[in-house]
Structure 1
Amino acid sequence: MMTRDRVRLDADVYYPDEPGEFPVLLMRQPYGRAIASTVVYAHPSWYAAQGYMVVIQDVRGRGTSAGEFKLFEHEIEDGYDAVNWAATLPGSSGVVGMYGFSYQGMTQLYAAINRPPALKALCPAMLAGDLYSDWAYEGGAFCLFANLAWAIQLGAETARLKGDEAAFLKFSDAARNLPLYDRVPTRPQIMQELAEYDSFYQTWLDHPDPEDAYWKRLSPLTYLENFDLPMLHIGGWFDTYMRGTLNFYKAMNQQSRAVQQLIVGAWAHLPWGRRLGAIDYGAAAVSGCDRAQVRWFDQFLKGIDTGLVNEPPIKLFEMGSNQWRTFSEFPSNAAPSFYLSSTGLASIDETDGSLVSTPQRLSPADVMVHDPWRPVPASGGHACYPCGSFDRASLDGRSDILTYTSEPFTEALPLAGEIVVELECSADQPSFDICAVLSEVKLNGSVYNFSQGYRRSDRGEAVQSLRVSLQPTCIQIPIGSAIRLSLSGACFPAYPVNSGTGEISTMVAQIMTIAVHGGRVISLKCNSEEPSGRQ
């Protein structure tokens, strides 16, 4: 196809093996169209066999499409043109739906902004409504591992398309050995040397202000009033962009007249299978999203009454019980808070720090000393590969991690919803970070993380209230297990090590003392009465 500014975009088109006219399913992606997101979805030929034309298009400047690739910059206009073009292809019934995850989820939203008349339904997965807070940064900290790894992948592909073998090989080597220990870790030398192949990374670092016009222009939430399409939103509890998926679903559900539904599995960004991290979640955890998407498109592109509009709109996989639960709305029933309690030795003795049911003030405060030479490493979670749940019992034994553990539960505790940790804390440097991790402590002493969050503070030494938003979750803590909150001053390389000074050079990084004076975990507990039942 030709865009409005006469740039050629290339696509593969898959047809059903039968005569007639068919709705079109469009995916627009930057990785070479042959992959077609088959890392998580069925092959396009399977969708064609369900009675759909399927169009997999290389976005501008990627694959064999012409033009220059600039991350997200052309996707609003190009997406609109692509929908109109797909609707007029031979064999098309004139209606279009879109599917895809990550970049391919974002291209759906961009294409919908200007309301192409042929676009009737979307299935956006694992994306960012707010590009700053849902993708590039978390809690004010740059998402180093995810952003750098992705920038290197995209840079390598740009070098390959331009025939620059030397640059391609440098990027390939860097992908296997991420340059995380340069003088300025967020700006490694390779990204400086090969800046001509960078489509976003330096720009994201150069715009640390969430109110910057750059973020507003590229964030779908800026255009929220433009959206009024049926959307099946898909996320994963350990996906890097789960907060974006949930925030966009909630915003759409509040303002749209069209049907909005949400599916969240025990998945990372990929894969969407039964095993993630060190946990086998059982056969029920395997993705059923292909069938769910076909059912969605049958309803809204073919006009078939599938019954889905009469079903609960939210389907969440409950870890622990390893079964799916349905809800009429995203869980938001506040459980009693867990308060931090200790004698001041929560960094030394894992039996000292406790989570209790009544407010406490730590006296003396719990103190952890963050050493930039040996920062607390990332272990599972959503922000660093490998994602998922792992046994962090030995990690929690470090003296620069504070741990607070509840008593074992005498009845199963189902937790579903968003989680916030509120802390009263201070530091002896102008800037410091807090990483908060929630885990299940099993009877045998193993400790498996299920949610975490990160927050950067630049407010100096005074005692302050700090609010850390954790990854939403749905989990059942069984009888005999406890939950644990672990606090640290780093989570490297998921996020850069905070130097304490506001500067980013490793040469100026300071050892810092962080004191926690009190706090609580505010969890959202699902109803004891099943609002919409179990499946």
Structure 2
Amino acid sequence: MRHNNTSIYLPICIGLGLVITGCNDNNDDSPAIIVDPLTPPSVELIRSDAHPGIICELLSIPMRDGILTTGFVYRPDEESSQEYPTVITRTPYARINFGKGCFIEGDGTLADGTAYARAGYAYIVQSVRGTFTSDGDFDMFRQEKSDGYDSIEWAAVQSWSDGNVGIRGASYVGMTSWQAAISAPPSLKAASISISSEDYHREWVYDQGIPHHSMNISWPESAITEDQIIRKETENGTAQEVIDQMVADRQVLSFTNMWSDWVWQLPLTSFDQFDGLHTGYQTWMKHPLYDEFWQALDVGANIKEVNFPTLIHGAWYDIFADGTFASFESMRSRSGSIEARDNTKLLISQYGHATNHSTPSFGDAAFGGSVNAATQGDDFRPYDMDYFDYYLKGSENNYEEKATATLAIMVPPDSGQEGSHFVIDASEYPLANTEYQSFYLNSNGDANDRTGSGGLSVSPDSRDAGITESGIVENTSFAADLFDYDPLNPVPTMGGNLCCFTDFTGGPQSGAVEQAEVEVRDDVLVYTSEPLIEPLFVIGQVTVELFAKSSAMDTDFMAKLVDVRPDGSTHNILDGAVRASLRQGSKSQPTLIEANKTYEYSINLGHTGVVFPIGHRIRLQVSSSNFPKFARNLNTGASNETTSETMVAKQVILHDALNASRLILPVVDDIDIPE
């Protein structure tokens, strides 16, 4: 059945040529609208006094299985025979103000839709299957490839379309764009995709094969659950006032319990708060390994289907930053045409899904790089409108001459919280003059908090580890550090590349955050360099090579890159994790480790563009948990998704002559910080 829009009330008072005002019986603040009396009854054209010269039409878009999805299209208010290049955005977020309807003030699609219409485009906003007023059931991720194909080909043959279609979006809306692109609809000529991923097992639901726990709960709850409650209860005939109370009660329930109870529940598969509403979480937990489920969705595995250049926009602190860079690399190396490989471009800003808490700040978001309900941002629009003008209109705007990569480089303050950023252009990424510098871990065996002797140096430690095969300390001055990891007392998440709504629901803060709270724990090893005597420009992918032992058959190791300012304050830059059983990569089959045997682990911390100024120090944290960002490894060697038994693991981090654990930074010279 067709689901009613019960989250907003948009009255359309129909009259012959009348501008109707004051007819909202719920005091709705939407602008006055005009319904064109000269159009056929099946076509409802809406105008707004606030946006002259633009017309909006409500749409019903059919899918191949007969499901009807809903949406609307903005276009210039010109003669009906005019055809326009068409841009579509496909969203599940109408209920939270991203695609509610025509000319809705405060809706995240209004500014983009009207701007594109003024520029001579038809701009479609579509609610994906099973959301808002679209028919069907919402099957996260899996529905978007075929539905995206159908939507694009439908758009191409409409009377107001010239047949050249582009797609754009951020976050999940970026995912719907990627899935449509790899389905290879013939009419799709361009895609502008922001803060989204390539491999949803490596960079979204799971991170390097470890459940992205906080996001897997907070994102569906905050962005999807309300919509599904309203749809379900509307279909059941529940009274509107009862539905409103159910939604309010759910908000109280989730705000009260999400971080104090829900994220702590074991086993992970026992979490049932989404039962009867949406099935994504339980489906994901049934696929902990990279299998056919994830391969079918993997953009990188299907990138050859994309034969046009894309515009890819990401952010250093964004939760999908790794996926942004992975998709850029895939497009540049393996996409379906020489033009696509040569002309795909990359823009990177600071924050993305993360919040700028000014702890510290790196200035306002470059290129409109902050996301709000999946909008790409007003400041980003000129970048992708130039892109669409070139590939959909054939404009001679020299878009192809723009830099391959445009990056906002972050500069932290020496004191206080007001940092800055500057922008560089590059002909390639990674940058051509990148050199990878190693900083080796060292200590006297007491790096267990920030007051210990843990250091970072350019030369490896020449001492013997002083650790037997059983992990026993043989003397008091040795080249190794020990800590216990207890899954029931994990290291709390302090900042980082988080999503979604964690900052506003009582969860961990995202972005750059002071690290003092975790750096006094015994289960966090802290290694710090001497103050820098010249600035260090770190631009690219950061990795940690770790030599470690564990008493467990499976466990996790975490690493975090931190800036230490001259005044002693700190903030995180990057963090990453590796699961011991997936040490060969997230696409590999898991293999347990032998207790107390030394293994080498490579930890991907992700990409950054940051300056360590003179007087700052480089710091590396090493631990075995970062909760609730990552689900806990229970250390038993059994399934971490379907079991709840835990054990304490005794961890040893080696940094001796034979096992030289190190931080590897991509360092770029010949860059000056603008005055």
TM-score bucket (shorter structure): over 0.9
Aligned-partner Cα distance in 2 for 1:322–1:278: 15
Query: Which residue number in structure 2 is paired with residue 492 of structure 1?
Result: 627
Offset from partner CA, 1:463-517 (integer Å, 9 cap, x none): 1111100020000111110110001111111112222113448863222221101
Q: Which moved more, 1:493-502 or 1:282-291?
A: 282-291
Residue from 286, 289, 305 that aligns with 2:396: 305
Query: Which residue number in structure 1 is paired with residue 272 of structure 2?
Result: 190
Aligned-partner Cα distance in 1 for 2:178–2:271: 34
- Equivalences for 1:36-435 in 2 at 5 Å? 36=99, 42-153=111-222, 154-163=224-233, 165=243, 168=247, 171-176=250-255, 177-178=257-258, 179-180=261-262, 182-184=264-266, 186-191=268-273, 194-210=274-290, 212-256=291-335, 257=338, 258=340, 259-269=343-353, 275-276=356-357, 278-283=359-364, 285=366, 287=368, 288-320=379-411, 322-331=421-430, 333-348=434-449, 350-360=451-461, 363-383=478-498, 385=502, 386-435=509-558
Q: For residue 230 of structure 2, what is the amino acid of its counterpart?
A: R
| 3-state SS of paired residue (1:190) | coil
Aligned-partner Cα distance in 1 for 2:332–2:263: 43
Q: Which moved more, 1:282-291 or 1:164-173?
A: 164-173
**TM-score of the superposed pair, with normalisation by structure 2:** 0.74
Q: Which moved more, 1:161-170 or 1:49-58?
A: 161-170
CA apart distance, 1:167: 7.1
Q: Do 1:156 and 1:167's aligned partners in 2 also have CA atoms closer than 8 Å?
A: no
Query: Which residue number in structure 1 is paired with residue 68 of structure 2?
Result: 8
- Equivalences for 1:442-481 in 2 at 5 Å? 442-458=565-581, 459-461=593-595, 462-481=597-616
Q: Do 2:317 and 2:354's aligned partners in 1 also have CA atoms closer than 8 Å?
A: no
| 3-state SS of paired residue (2:668) | coil
Q: Do 2:354 and 2:511's aligned partners in 1 also have CA atoms closer than 8 Å?
A: no
- Equivalences for 1:501-520 in 2 at 5 Å? 501-503=636-638, 504=640, 508-518=645-655, 519-520=661-662
| 3-state SS of paired residue (1:329) | coil
- Residues 89 and 180 of structure 1: is their aligned pair in 2 closer, same or farther, counting only changes over 3 Å? same
Q: Do 2:201 and 2:208's aligned partners in 1 also have CA atoms closer than 8 Å?
A: no
CA apart distance, 1:57: 0.4
Query: Which residue number in structure 1 is paired with residue 84 of structure 2?
Result: 22
Aligned-partner Cα distance in 1 for 2:390–2:221: 40
Offset from partner CA, 1:227-253 (integer Å, 9 cap, x none): 111210011111111111110110101
- Residues 283 and 277 of structure 1: is their aligned pair in 2 closer, same or farther, counting only changes over 3 Å? closer
Cα RMSD of the aligned pairs, angstroms, is 2.5
| 3-state SS of paired residue (2:93) | coil
- Residues 529 and 252 of structure 1: is their aligned pair in 2 closer, same or farther, counting only changes over 3 Å? same
- Residues 171 and 501 of structure 1: is their aligned pair in 2 closer, same or farther, counting only changes over 3 Å? farther
Q: Do 1:350 and 1:404's aligned partners in 2 also have CA atoms closer than 8 Å?
A: no
Q: For residue 556 of structure 2, what is the amino acid of its counterpart?
A: D
Aligned-partner Cα distance in 1 for 2:367–2:360: 13
- Residues 427 and 169 of structure 1: is their aligned pair in 2 closer, same or farther, counting only changes over 3 Å? farther
**TM-score of the superposed pair, with normalisation by structure 1:** 0.92
CA apart distance, 1:190: 3.2
- Residues 40 and 424 of structure 1: is their aligned pair in 2 closer, same or farther, counting only changes over 3 Å? farther
Q: Do 2:357 and 2:511's aligned partners in 1 also have CA atoms closer than 8 Å?
A: yes
Q: For residue 27 of structure 1, what is the amino acid of its counterpart?
A: T
- Residues 490 and 506 of structure 1: is their aligned pair in 2 closer, same or farther, counting only changes over 3 Å? farther
CA apart distance, 1:454: 1.2
- Residues 312 and 12 of structure 1: is their aligned pair in 2 closer, same or farther, counting only changes over 3 Å? same
| 3-state SS of paired residue (1:495) | coil
Q: Do 1:339 and 1:521's aligned partners in 2 also have CA atoms closer than 8 Å?
A: yes
Q: For residue 467 of structure 1, what is the amino acid of its counterpart?
A: S
CA apart distance, 1:75: 1.7
Aligned-partner Cα distance in 1 for 2:69–2:108: 23
Structure 1 unaligned residues grouped into runs of 5+: none
- Residues 324 and 390 of structure 1: is their aligned pair in 2 closer, same or farther, counting only changes over 3 Å? same
Q: Do 1:331 and 1:525's aligned partners in 2 also have CA atoms closer than 8 Å?
A: no
| 3-state SS of paired residue (1:159) | helix
Q: Do 2:456 and 2:527's aligned partners in 1 also have CA atoms closer than 8 Å?
A: yes
Q: For residue 439 of structure 1, what is the amino acid of its counterpart?
A: V
Q: Do 1:409 and 1:478's aligned partners in 2 also have CA atoms closer than 8 Å?
A: yes
| 3-state SS of paired residue (1:508) | coil
CA apart distance, 1:85: 1.5
Q: Do 1:326 and 1:534's aligned partners in 2 also have CA atoms closer than 8 Å?
A: no
Aligned-partner Cα distance in 1 for 2:607–2:110: 24
Structure 2 unaligned residues grouped into runs of 5+: 1-60, 101-106, 237-242, 369-378, 412-419, 466-477, 503-508, 582-592, 656-660
Aligned-partner Cα distance in 1 for 2:93–2:430: 36
- Residues 470 and 277 of structure 1: is their aligned pair in 2 closer, same or farther, counting only changes over 3 Å? farther
Q: Do 1:325 and 1:534's aligned partners in 2 also have CA atoms closer than 8 Å?
A: no
Offset from partner CA, 1:437-484 (integer Å, 9 cap, x none): 101100000111111101111324211111100020000111110110
Q: Percent identity?
A: 30
Q: For residue 492 of structure 2, what is the amino acid of its counterpart?
A: P
Q: For residue 410 of structure 2, what is the amino acid of its counterpart?
A: M
Aligned-partner Cα distance in 1 for 2:668–2:209: 29
CA apart distance, 1:424: 0.6
| 3-state SS of paired residue (1:294) | helix
Q: Which moved more, 1:36-45 or 1:437-446?
A: 36-45
Q: Do 1:425 and 1:517's aligned partners in 2 also have CA atoms closer than 8 Å?
A: yes
- Residues 129 and 17 of structure 1: is their aligned pair in 2 closer, same or farther, counting only changes over 3 Å? same
Aligned-partner Cα distance in 1 for 2:246–2:564: 47
Q: Do 1:324 and 1:534's aligned partners in 2 also have CA atoms closer than 8 Å?
A: no
Q: Do 2:450 and 2:519's aligned partners in 1 also have CA atoms closer than 8 Å?
A: no
Q: Which moved more, 1:490-499 or 1:154-163?
A: 154-163
Q: Do 2:319 and 2:497's aligned partners in 1 also have CA atoms closer than 8 Å?
A: yes
Offset from partner CA, 1:354-381 (integer Å, 9 cap, x none): 1100122552410112233331100110
CA apart distance, 1:46: 2.4
Q: Do 2:351 and 2:365's aligned partners in 1 also have CA atoms closer than 8 Å?
A: no
Query: Which residue number in structure 2 is paired with residue 439 of structure 1?
Result: 562
Bigger Rg, structure 1 or 2: 2
Q: Which moved more, 1:143-152 or 1:37-46?
A: 37-46
Offset from partner CA, 1:215-269 (integer Å, 9 cap, x none): 1112222212111112100111111111111101101011232220001110132
Q: Do 2:213 and 2:263's aligned partners in 1 also have CA atoms closer than 8 Å?
A: no
- Residues 309 and 371 of structure 1: is their aligned pair in 2 closer, same or farther, counting only changes over 3 Å? same
CA apart distance, 1:189: 4.1
Q: For residue 488 of structure 2, what is the amino acid of its counterpart?
A: W
Q: Do 1:152 and 1:174's aligned partners in 2 also have CA atoms closer than 8 Å?
A: no
| 3-state SS of paired residue (2:185) | coil
